[in-house]
Amino acid sequence: MFADLAGLLRRFSELGAVRAFCKPLAENDNSKQQIYLGGNFDVVQMFPFENVEATSNGKDSTYKAKLNFVWVSADKTEQAAGAQLILYPQYPEVRLSGFLRGCKYAPNELLRPIPASQRRFNNGPDGRILFFGITRNGETLAYLAPAESSVAQEFRRRQTESAFSQESVFFNLPLRGRDSKSILLESLAKIRDVGWHPSMRLNKTGEIIPYKARNGGGYTLEALLGIIPNGRSEPDFLGWEMKAYSGDRITLMTPEPDGGMYGERGVKVFVREYGKHTGDDTLYFTGTHRADCRNEKTGLTLAVRGFDSSRKVIEDVGGAVELLDDAGGCAAAWSFAELMIGWNKKHAQAAYVPYESEKEAAPAYRYFSPALLGEGTDFNRYLAALSAGRVIFDPGSKVMKASTEKSTVKARSQFRMSVRHLAALYKKFEPVKF
């Protein structure tokens, strides 16, 4: 038990949490009926899941996303190996299940189903509060405060005073005494006030090293914010994904296809089939691909299969974004399940920071206010923007020394978007001065 909310949040921070939030539970939130997390896929962005399994079963089709879920107390932790999110795309609806399986110290008694005859709140809020902490390495920390506990009582009192901002069914909690947005904007202001920054990045140990290539605007901003490249697709700064931009187009994701010719035979075979020769013995696969528009250079058409763009819901959990040839053959495909993982990990909260570069001397960058802040997104918004042609596939894959036995390949599958269309991806999107 924790004496107060500050003690709980301090414990979350000690365990590596960079973001915290909570959900008041209702009587029908239990181990049998699962825990209801909301009627929209935007809640999925709050949790770092590890993989997605699509189960096709007519109207009962679901996605199941495994969580690295850890129950927390003042002196111990315990992993719930069976914890997962269950996404019901037809509603849509998200629930948490498997959170007690194999656990000895988890709050089992507090999560048992209440017989209908003993329910006192008509399945409404019963005073229990479920707290979550999200760590940078992808763990979901959890603590359940009993209704009569000092932590739950403090939360309810402060909630009535509007102390916490609400996001879907959750209430955001300040881990460092202030909300993460305020800390982010203060950090960006310090970076702006310095002016020009030499191009740099951080190595794996957090040491600043020079970066000589001319694409260092993003690396430099990350280094200035103390973000160490780690190869994971997690949000960068206190739960915020950082993106620096100097032009109109922003790269949203760079996932490799997991289906079609590309997924089955690899990028080199794909580029040899659909790429174009240049004078330096290089084959390039490039060109803007928009949904339902044939690209004259590649002869391929981008299609979004299994998504109802009018209702903005997934109607086939086995759906995919596909590149189709004129005969309807699938040259490349990105399954919804795999795309959902990439989108979830990068875009819960995003800050787009404008910059300009010094091109005459050594590479250097300076950053400007305002930043464009996006909050509250979900995978359906991404698919809707893709279906509407606002998100485009803009690849840059190539095979070098293509005519030789020593040919090499570079894969770059980019989904990009104009800055002026970014608002379509978020519930809340606005320029914010710093």
161-192 confidence digits (pLDDT tens): 988 988 889 999 988 777 889 999 999 999 99
294-353 confidence digits (pLDDT tens): 999 999 999 999 999 999 989 999 999 999 999 999 999 999 999 988 887 666 789 999
CB 337 within 8 A of CB 230: no
CB 416 within 8 A of CB 246: no
Q: Where are the beta strands (DSSP E) in 359-414?
A: 364-367, 371-375, 391-393, 396-400, 408-410
- Whether the per-residue pLDDT at 146 is higher than 60: the answer is yes
Domain 5-173 class? mainly beta
For strands 139-145 and 62-72, give the pairing. Answer: parallel
Pick the CATH number of 202-432 from 1.10.510.10, 3.40.50.2000, 3.30.70.3570, 3.30.450.30: 3.30.70.3570
Kindly report which listed range (86-95, 144-153, 201-210, 222-231) carries the lowest average pLDDT score.
222-231
Determine the pLDDT at residue 235. Answer: 52
- Answer left, alpha or beta for residue 239, where phi above 0 means left and psi between -120 and 50 means alpha: left
Nearest Cα to Cα of residue 129 among 113, 151, 161:
151
- Mean of pLDDT values over 377-393: 95
50-97 confidence digits (pLDDT tens): 789 999 877 779 999 999 999 999 999 999 999 999 999 888 899 999
Question: What is the gyration radius of the CA atoms in the chain, in angstroms?
Answer: 24
What is the rounded average pLDDT for all residues in the chain?
92
Q: pLDDT over 70 for what percent of the chain?
A: 98
- Answer left, alpha or beta for residue 95, where phi above 0 means left and psi between -120 and 50 means alpha: beta
* Amino acid (1-letter code) at residue 51: N
CB 99 within 8 A of CB 81: no
d(CA 64, CA 242): 28
Determine the pLDDT at residue 230. Answer: 55
Domain extent listing, the chain: 5-173, 202-432
